Amino acid sequence: MPKQMTFASLAHASKKKVTRREKFLGEMEAVVPWSRLLALIEPHYPKMGRKGGRPAIPLEVMLRIYCLQQWYALSDPMAEESLYDSDAMRRFAGLELGEDRIPDETTILNFRHLLERHALTEAIFAEVNAYLTENGLTLRSGTLVDATIIDAPSSTKNKAGKRDPEMSSTRKGNDWYFGMKAHVGVDADSGLVHSLETTTAKVHDSQVWDGLLHGAEKSVWADKAYVSAERAEAFAGPGKFWGVMRKAPRGGKLHPVDEHINRLIARVRARVEHPFRVLKRQFGYIKTRYRGLARNRAQLFSLFAFGNLYLVRRRLMA
């Protein structure tokens, strides 16, 4: 979003050190397919403000602010605050203090609701994946299937005085968790997420399967939670491989051959953790931000779309 530089911008341009935030934003600036995403949203975006008042803030500015929210785990009020506090974020959004109107938290919230209302985050996820496929970054010969638990606030100190009724508890090992699950299908070659389903936490991983496969897999890879004789039979044909971890019979030990197979499967399956690491470590998404599954589901589509771009950013930039 090139603009005429102010004295403050010129002074910043002359500084010698590039911060980690500036480097990250520069990389994402280069790899996000802005024109394609703007074309998706533009038919739904208002041309004027409320009641025919002043023009709405440009769509690209709002989309860039929405991206900042996802990448830095910002609430609507914190997104507004950050635009005043951070030169790097303002430049990324294409805003200049004293010249441009900084969107307030209500405007930022309304844009997020617009994306949710028209299922545009799912469209963004699909468009980003189409863009990556066109660039030869997804081969889709095999799929890694897995799920991760997203914690939800368990406190009842809120207006309703109760926990989110759409979230639930589940046990993993000796620990209990309250929240939801993100189930993903990941391309075995590139490590990119090509499909996503969300459920409440108590739904067993194995119950979400068909929606995570694209149908043309020659191999599938998953942990012991997905063991199924019926599904294994479907991948017993020539040129196919059932890469689900072998499970020991009840009360018995795993055969040494199966132990060796499990070690080979584990090496391939390790790639499925990369998208989760980007969400939780790079983007700071460790808890649900909203109440209810629908809004959190919408955010997850955006996070995985941008996470895919982040994972292959250097290849795209090259």
Same domain, 89 and 179: no
Q: How many structural domains does the chain have?
A: 2
- Specify whether 76 is located in the same domain as 187: no
238-291 pLDDT tens trace: 888 999 999 888 878 888 998 999 999 999 999 999 999 999 999 999 999 999
Is residue 2 included in any domain, yes or no? no
Are 63 and 160 part of one and the same domain? no
Tens digit of each residue's pLDDT (9 = 90 or more) over 220-251: 999 999 999 888 988 888 888 999 999 888 87
pTM of the model: 0.90
Query: Which has the higher per-residue pLDDT, 244 or 14?
Result: 244
Residues 91, 168 share a domain: no
pLDDT band at 5; cut points 50, 70, 90: low
Residue 131 lies in a domain: no
pLDDT value of residue 11: 55
Give the integer Cα–Cα distance in Å for 160 and 168: 17
CB of 91 closer than 8 Å to CB of 68: no
Distance of CA 121 to the CA centre of its chain: 10
Burial class (CB in 10 A: 0-12, 13-18, 19+), 72: middle
Q: Say if 172 falls within a structural domain.
A: yes
| 311 and 226 both lie in a single domain | yes
Residue 107 identity (one-letter amino acid): T
Q: Does some domain include residue 124?
A: no
Q: What is the pLDDT of residues 171-211, one digit of tens each?
A: 988 899 999 999 999 999 999 999 999 999 999 999 999 89
Shared domain for 193 and 251, answered yes or no, is yes
Host domain of residue 252: 139-317
